[in-house]
Amino acid sequence: MNWRKELVSSYTRIEDLLSLLELDINQIDPLISAKTHFPFRVTQAYASRIRLRDPNDPLLLQVLPTSGELVNPLNFVDDPVEEEPFEKDSSLLQKYHGRALLIA
């Protein structure tokens, strides 16, 4: 299957993926509150590698949004490396003379 078909046929609802994996939504961390904050898409190829009936499968945990992702840690800053003064534009950062980072 080419990547476009794989993308089109991917799972975009957590409930559909859990049904495929024979998991009850109640077996999962109270993540459903987090699902509205994060986009969700899992290809069929990736889903086929997740173990059935295992809510702790590492591949599953990679794609499920968890309630912990909504917690703001103490001392969190938006600009940890203090690059904001060097932004020329929202997509251009020039920290050093003769060098620039273009974010496309």
pLDDT category, 33, cuts 50, 70, 90?
Answer: low
**The pLDDT value given to residue 10:** 97
Rounded to 5°, angle at Cα 25 from 68 and 3? 80
**The pLDDT value given to residue 34:** 61
Taking only the tens place, the pLDDT of each residue in 3-31 is 999 999 999 999 899 999 999 888 776 55
The runs of H, that is alpha helices, within the chain are: 3-8, 14-20, 44-47, 58-63
Q: Percentage of the chain with pLDDT > 90?
A: 63
- Top pLDDT among 32 and 36 is at 36
**The pLDDT value given to residue 49:** 98
